[in-house]
Structure 1
Amino acid sequence: MRALIALGGNAMTSSTGEATVAAQEAALGTAAERIADLVARGVDVVITHGNGPQVGNLLVKNELAADVVPIVPLDWCGAQTQGTIGYTLTKRLDEAFARRGLDRRSASVVTRALVDADDPGFTTPTKPIGRFLPEAQARRFIAEGQNWQDMGERGWRRVVASPEPREILDAPAVLNLVRAGFVTVAAGGGGIPVVREDGGALLGVEAVIDKDLAAALLGVLVEADVLLIATDVEHAIVGYATPQARPLGTIDVAELTAFAAEGHFAAGSMGPKVEAALRFARSGGRSVITSLDHIVEAVEGRVGTQVTAAPQPAHAEPHQSRP
């Protein structure tokens, strides 16, 4: 079996959201232990991850040093965080493999994701990134060509495009590494967003790609059987924060699509995870949404929200957590 594990932001920061070096090292170490347990079961693993807190840190450095050194563009920020997180995670993975006596190694690929230059997100950017600033400071960066919006009492915040990923350009390299026995980290932060110019050259753009949607695409390209979206809850929930709230266990694409259409999953949190799970399941794979602590049982089909392409048998209870 081959599984693509998509690590959420909670896997790379402390329980309180701290993104210090020590907190990130510790959190990635915990993630590595869980993944090594899965590898010890004989599962081939590809890993992708978010990078929001890490890119946020780089943006603050950009702002504070803007009058001293050139501002680093957003595609460079993505590349830098892929390198840092990939290095740290592979280091921790190799240590975890050695402790288990596993003859496995890890590798990390700085990965590009192709987007359309005419994606509507570039015309009307809406994805907020970075910190809030007073208007006067925000206008300093508007003069540099950035888009900032007035967010009310909290101040101004930068907004960028979040285009659809169309192709994970380095997926063939990732697949070759996996076939060679490497546990491979790829497409961090959804991939470095690039567009193809008329002459065929690739150009980095000021955008961020949803890492879960990129994971669904990468999963197909690296021939994964399972896409596991690791988050901070054990299941997706319908009727969240209402008396009718209930966890979703095994569920087919048609039922989950209906729940999504009814607005059960917030656009800024569970929504993209559910959409990614649906896309991968429609391709013929199995998707799972669950917490990092349960990834072994989830890949084995025993916990989490398990999304399948086919309807469940009539006697099944698709809306309840499996025991």
Structure 2
Amino acid sequence: MNRHQPTLVVALGGNALLRRGQPLDAEIQRSNIAMAAATLATLSQEWRLVLVHGNGPQVGLLALQNSACHDVPPYPLDILGAESQGMIGYMLIQALKNRLPDTEVTAVLTQVEIDPNDPAFQAPTKFIGPVYTAPQVAALPVGNGWVMKADGQYLRRVVPSPRPQRIIEAQAITTLTAHDHLVICSGGGGIPVAAIHGEMRGIEAVIDKDLSASLLARQINADALLILTDADAVYADWGKPTQEALRQTTPRGLASMHFDSGSMGPKIQAACEFVNTTGGMVGIGALADGVAILHGTKGTRITRD
């Protein structure tokens, strides 16, 4: 990297690191992360990268493992989110350094301030952990307090997902980026914290990583935002015979369309907020197509009206 490169925030989905239906296995994650590192290494030739990653499958696994121990009370989701930042950050650093041995790669444990009165606490929507069949859900320990919702043909745990208000470590991230570090931060959308009685406290929630990446991109004055997911593009009329991939669109063009709140909806919201605020460009598409998305030959590009 060099100081003349534009800055790109990349939001890498947790399901891109551990694909839907794959076992929650460390070696499978290492293999997927190695493939992600290949795309990121190519992007780093043109951009100064700041990487935000999801943690839905991983933090859910930690919660599941945590619930199996009856000797201590279960750890709250903010602590499990911090654990997942370290776990995924470590694997990303190792894979990226193997691809880019001359690049400084740094993971920043990142807190994100939220509103403790956010209405999201009354309506959990964020999927975490593995998928279950109905008989598997029936066999889960009674009284675990989990809320389950349909995720495709399966059931999956959902938790509150409050809106991110401020990336607390934004200045540290800016400083590292200015010194040519490839920065990994806001993992899982960041560790949710709130000011309570004059002190920052962890909050039981998981922040949407795309909304967090968009906020981060605005706070650090990034030039573009790239959202990589398990869909190859944004589609109009998704799931209908008339579905069509949108290759080039604008926030105004997207405003009249409906996108599911559990999948593409937050990505569209994050993209439009970044474009409308900064005038920068957002790309959305598959991990393997990262470079082509930014060049406009694959995926979806969203630009100002």
TM-score (norm 2): 0.88
Q: Which residue is equivalent to 1:87?
A: 90
Structure-1 residue corresponding to 2:9: 4
Q: 1:26 aligns with which of 24, 31, 55?
A: 31
Q: Are the counterparts in 2 of residues 134 and 156 from structure 1 also a CA contact under 8 Å?
A: no
Tell me the SS of whatever aligns to 2:29.
helix
Aligned amino acid, residue 231 of structure 1: T
Show the counterpart of 1:17: 22
Against the structure 1 CA distance between its residues 118 and 227, is the aligned structure 2 distance closer, same or farther, given a 3 Å change threshold? same
Structure with larger RCO (C-alpha < 8 A, sep 6+): 2
Alignment match, 1:144: none
3-state SS of paired residue (1:72): coil
Deviations 1:96-146 (A, max 9, x none): 013xxxx3221000101100111112244454544665488232x3xxxxx
Per mean C-alpha deviation after superposition, the further-off stretch among 157-166 and 228-237 is 157-166
Range with bigger deviation, 212-221 or 128-137: 128-137
Could you report, residue by residue, the CA deviation over 1:202-245 in whole angstroms, capped at 9, with x for unpaired residues?
00011111111111101111221111000122211111222211
Matched, 1:190 2:193: no
The residue type paired with residue 297 of structure 2 is: R
**In the alignment, residue 286 of structure 1 is paired with which amino acid?**
M
2: distance between equivalents of 1:151 and 1:281? Answer: 31
AA at the equivalent of 1:238: A
For the residues of structure 2 that align with 1:24 and 1:136, how far apart are their CA atoms? Answer: 25
* Equivalent-residue separation in structure 2 for 1:258 and 1:151 (angstroms): 26
**Partner deviation per Cα, 1:48-75 (whole Å, 9 max, x = no partner):** 011011111111111211x123311110
Unmatched 5+ stretches in structure 2 = 1-5, 131-135
User: CA separation in 1, counterparts of 2:297 and 2:189?
Assistant: 28
Which structure 2 residues correspond to residues 256-267 of structure 1 after superposition, within 5 A? Answer: 256-259=254-257, 263=258, 265-267=259-261
Whole-angstrom distance in 1 between the partners of 2:267 and 2:207: 13
Please say which structure displays the higher CA radius of gyration: 1
Kept in 2, the 8 Å contact 1:3–1:299? The answer is no
Per-residue deviation, 1:299: 2.3
Distance (whole Å) between structure 1 residues aligned to residue 16 and residue 42 of structure 2 = 16
User: Partner residue of 2:302?
Assistant: 307
Does residue 60 of structure 2 align to residue 56 of structure 1?
yes
Structure 1 residues 214 and 111: CA distance shift in structure 2, 3 A: same
The residue correspondences of 1:242-253 to structure 2 (distance < 5 A) are 242-253=240-251
Equivalent-residue separation in structure 2 for 1:128 and 1:293 (angstroms) = 24
User: For residue 242 of structure 2, what is the amino acid of its counterpart?
Assistant: Q
Question: How many aligned residue pairs are there?
Answer: 292
| Superimposed CA distance per residue, residues 186-215 of structure 1 (whole angstroms, 9 cap, x where no aligned partner) | 00111100011232x100011111111111
Percent identity, aligned pairs only, is 37
Aligned partner of 1:216 in structure 2 is 214
Contact 1:9 1:51 in 2 (8 A): yes
**Conservation of the 8 A alpha-carbon contact between 1:138 and 1:148:** no
**Normalised TM-score (structure 1):** 0.84
Counterpart amino acid of residue 53 in structure 1: P
Partner SS, residue 138 of structure 1: coil
Cα RMSD (Å) of the superposition? 2.3
What SS does structure 2 have at the residue aligned with 1:271? helix
For the pair 1:287 / 2:282, whether they are aligned, the reply is yes
For the 8 Å contact 2:112–2:192, the answer to whether it is kept is yes
Residues of 1 paired with 2:292 and 2:149: CA distance? 42
